[in-house]
């Protein structure tokens, strides 16, 4: 591939027919793209409402409006039960924005550029998921901080730290459902619609708000296979003391399952999306 | 000399729409291939196939010697794509946009930075380098988009309608930029809706319509085929239109058309006609409020080539 008619000297090394000189690892690519997402988040702080204001509203609403009725009087007792549960619900809901943002990005054409670059197909998706860690950590810290002001009193702060790792890890795996949906549907609004339709039964058909024993048998069966129940069970155990092992194992298993199923599906849907 | 872009028999169907119905394209290394056609002709689909974003239903394409379907990674390492809708990240600054691409390509932070500085300066964006692309004008956005596609020093560059939506002054500015890029030795595939643009920039022009190639020629050959330039004269006094028509007939030997606005238009192949016409108009004391020479519009080109205009609803050939 030699060119004879070109000027021998170029003023600037702009376009050169020399072919590629460097390549980067998929890990580097994902990291670079994660940084891009973080810069965007930084520029639009209002996009953080779903991990700051929204969970606080849920916390206040369920503690002060429903808490007394649900827990038979003591709102402070209910808060100890509610907060670990609400963490599981809100962190799953926080993943909705991930699919919405990716869906919007694809329409804007920036992803055409990424697709035309010699980088891993999965890098833009993995990068976006990685950047979401920051949002999940913010959510967790805000919930614990506001909860503490309201009277939340965990039995073990080491357990709280362990819960942080577990909940963020779970969200990273659960988020691939959102990415997958984001690759399948046409509009960001549709991503939200589908994800809420999925998350609401998972969040309420669980041990998040009330004790499972009060539910009919068929619903208890659902609660027992619901991954959010196991996450909440493990987080409750870690924060408030109590059995952890069973729920922890099931949470880790469901995390692996979510990752193994939805990550390849999402990447495949992304490849196919023209 | 080898072809940097070579496509044959490309077909692509989206649902009931046949976007491409067997398109051949070829661009020699270091030249500009203009792909001319109206909206919906299949230009963008062809570019997306050549940029490995779409797989054709049938047909083959090689870019820089690599097959776009079987060796997409090698192709991607050698191409630069600037889309019809400038695909820069609006929330990032000019610098950040270019750094992102450099780092994705595996440049070190220092290399990425110096490449970004170099390109921003080259595209006259240094003063706006720290502002988010959201605040850029249309022309600046196109330049940033083009800069982003050049970070990896591609040998083949796709410019998909680089001036659509720009005002005429900005369009000429963009043409200068494109000429400079070509001067650096890359092969360029440029799609456009303007014959004038293809004429100004391309070495060869392929005209496509409803997913088919309807002409391929050099700009001069194509202009010759469609009848060179158009001359338009509008006498200030509409009553003198007939006199003007008689003058034109005497000078060119071909008939002219008169619009309802009192404009007389005729084909011109001879560059010396305009000064001659001006002399005769002066001799006869005919004042004109408009006198211009221009290349045929895409509509006029299509009328000549296909016997109909660019009405994209007329798709009987695409079935």
Residues A229-271 pLDDT 10s? 999 999 999 999 888 899 999 999 999 999 999 999 999 999 8
Report CA-CA distances (Å) from A185 to A102, A104, A188, A270. 11, 11, 8, 11
**Among candidate residues B224, B248, B283, the one where a domain is terminated:** B224
For chain B, what is the domain count?
2
Whose structure tokens read 């196109």? B142
Residue B316 counted as domain residue: no
On whether both B114 and B239 belong to a single domain, the answer is no
Tell me the CA distances in angstroms from A184 to A102, A110, A191, B13, one per residue in order.
11, 18, 9, 20
Interval B135-194: pLDDT, tens: 999 889 989 999 999 999 899 999 999 888 888 888 888 888 888 888 888 899 999 988
Kindly determine whether residue A5 and residue B88, on different chains, have CB atoms separated by under 8 Å.
no
At residue B1, the pLDDT reads 58
* Coil, helix or strand at residue B50: helix
Same domain, B32 and B149: yes
**Cβ contact A268:A184 at 8 Å:** no
d(Cα B191, Cα A64) in Å, to the nearest integer? 63
What chain A residue is nearest to B145 in terms of C-alpha separation? A113
Of the given ranges (B15-19, B99-103, B258-262), which has the lowest mean pLDDT?
Answer: B258-262
Structure tokens at B31: 């030249």
Q: Which of A10, A43, A113 sits opposite B185 (nearest CB)?
A: A10
What number is the ipTM of this complex?
0.81
- Check CB contact under 8 Å for B53 and A115: yes
Q: Are residues B92 and B110 in the same domain?
A: yes
For each successive 10 residues of chain A (274 residues), what is the average pLDDT? 37 46 80 93 88 92 87 84 92 93 85 90 93 95 95 93 96 96 94 94 88 88 92 94 91 96 95 77
Burial B262-281 (b: 16+ CB within 10 A, else e): bbbbbbbeeeebbeebeeeb
**Mean pLDDT in residue range B244-272:** 82
* SS3 category, B11: strand
How far apart, in whole angstroms, are the C-alpha atoms of residue B69 and residue B60?
Answer: 8
**Which helix or strand (DSSP H or E) is residue A176 part of?**
helix A157-184
> Across the interface, do A113 and B81 touch by the CB < 8 Å criterion?
yes
Q: Are residues B241 and B129 in the same domain?
A: no
- The model's pLDDT over B100-111, given as tens digits with 9 standing for 90+, comes to 999 999 999 999
Report the gap between the CA of A119 and the closest CA in chain B (Å): 7
Domain-terminating residue out of B190, B209, B224: B224
pLDDT tens profile B185-242: 889 999 998 888 998 899 999 999 999 999 999 988 887 777 777 888 899 988 888 8
Rounded Cα distance, A97 and A50, in Å: 8
Chain B CB contacts of A7 under 8 Å are 183, 185
Q: Are residues B63 and B96 in the same domain?
A: yes
Per-residue model confidence (pLDDT) at position A3: 39
The structure tokens 């158009």 sit at B230
Reported as half-sphere exposure (CB side, CA atoms, 13 A), residue B110 has a value of: 0
Report chain A residues whose CB lies below 8 A from the CB of B180: 14
Does the residue B102 lie in any domain?
A: yes
Q: Do B124 and B258 sit in the same domain of this protein?
A: no
Does residue B306 lie in a domain region? no
Phi and psi, residue B219, nearest 5°: -55, -45
Among A11, A109, A123, beta carbon nearest to B83: A109
- CA-based nearest residue to B35, from B155, B51, B44, A116: B44
- In this structure, the answer to whether residues B125 and B233 fall within a common structural domain is no
**Which CATH number does the domain housing residue B287 bear?**
3.30.70.920
Q: Which domain holds residue B290?
A: 229-294
Distance CA B229, CA B272 (A): 12
The C-alpha atoms of residue A100 and residue A135 are separated, in whole angstroms, by: 15
């Amino acid at each position: 591939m030699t060119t004879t008619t070109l000027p021998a000297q170029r003023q600037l090394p702009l376009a050169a027919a020399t072919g590629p000189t460097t390549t980067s690892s998929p890990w580097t690519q994902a990291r670079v793209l994660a940084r891009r997402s973080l810069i965007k988040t930084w520029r639009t702080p209002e996009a953080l409402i779903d991990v700051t204001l929204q969970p606080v509203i849920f916390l206040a609403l369920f503690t002060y409006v429903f808490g007394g009725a649900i827990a038979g009087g003591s709102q402070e007792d209910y808060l100890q039960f509610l907060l670990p549960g609400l963490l599981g619900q809100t962190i799953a809901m926080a993943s909705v924005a991930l699919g919405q943002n990716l869906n919007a990005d694809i329409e804007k054409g920036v992803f055409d550029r990424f697709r035309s670059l010699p980088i891993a197909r999965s890098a833009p998706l993995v990068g976006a998921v990685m950047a979401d860690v920051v949002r999940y950590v913010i959510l967790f810290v805000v919930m614990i901080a506001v909860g503490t002001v309201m009277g939340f009193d965990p039995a073990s702060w080491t357990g709280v730290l362990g819960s942080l790792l577990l909940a963020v890890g779970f969200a990273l795996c659960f988020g691939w459902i959102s990415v997958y949906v984001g690759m399948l549907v046409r509009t960001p609004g549709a991503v939200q619609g589908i994800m809420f339709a999925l998350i609401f039964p998972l969040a309420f058909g669980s041990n998040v708000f009330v004790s499972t024993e009060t539910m009919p048998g068929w619903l208890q069966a659902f609660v027992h296979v619901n991954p959010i129940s196991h996450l909440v069970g493990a987080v409750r155990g870690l924060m408030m003391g109590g059995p952890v092992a069973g729920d922890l194992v099931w949470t880790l298993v469901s995390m692996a399952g979510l990752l193994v199923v939805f990550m390849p599906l999402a990447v495949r849907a992304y490849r196919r999306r023209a | 000399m080898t072809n940097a872009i070579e496509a044959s028999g490309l077909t692509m169907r989206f649902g009931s729409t046949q976007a491409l119905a067997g398109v051949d394209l070829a661009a020699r290394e270091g030249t500009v291939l203009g792909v001319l056609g109206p909206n919906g002709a299949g230009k963008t689909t062809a570019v997306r196939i050549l940029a490995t974003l779409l797989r054709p239903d049938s047909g083959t394409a090689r870019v820089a010697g690599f097959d776009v379907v079987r060796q997409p990674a090698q192709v991607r390492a050698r191409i630069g794509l600037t889309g019809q809708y400038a695909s820069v990240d609006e929330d990032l600054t000019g610098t950040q946009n270019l750094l992102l691409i450099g780092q994705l390509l595996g440049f070190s932070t220092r290399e990425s930075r110096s490449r970004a500085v170099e390109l921003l300066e080259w595209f006259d964006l240094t003063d706006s380098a720290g502002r988010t692309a959201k605040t850029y004008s249309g022309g600046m956005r196109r330049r940033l988009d083009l800069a982003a596609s050049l970070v990896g020093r591609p040998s083949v560059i796709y410019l998909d309608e680089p001036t659509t939506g720009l005002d005429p002054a900005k369009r000429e500015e963009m043409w200068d930029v494109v000429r400079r890029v070509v001067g650096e030795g890359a092969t360029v595939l440029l799609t456009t809706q303007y014959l004038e643009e293809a004429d100004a920039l391309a070495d060869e022009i392929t005209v496509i319509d409803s997913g088919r190639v309807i002409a391929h020629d050099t700009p001069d050959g194509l202009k010759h085929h469609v009848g060179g330039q158009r001359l338009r004269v509008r006498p200030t006094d509409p009553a003198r239109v007939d006199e003007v028509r008689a003058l034109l007939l005497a000078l060119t030997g071909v008939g002219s058309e008169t619009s309802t606005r009192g404009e007389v238009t005729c084909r011109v192949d001879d560059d010396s006609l305009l000064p001659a016409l001006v002399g005769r108009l002066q001799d006869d004391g005919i004042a004109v409020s408009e006198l211009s020479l221009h290349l045929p519009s895409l509509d006029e080109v299509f009328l000549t080539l296909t016997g109909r205009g660019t009405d994209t609803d007329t798709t009987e050939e695409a079935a």
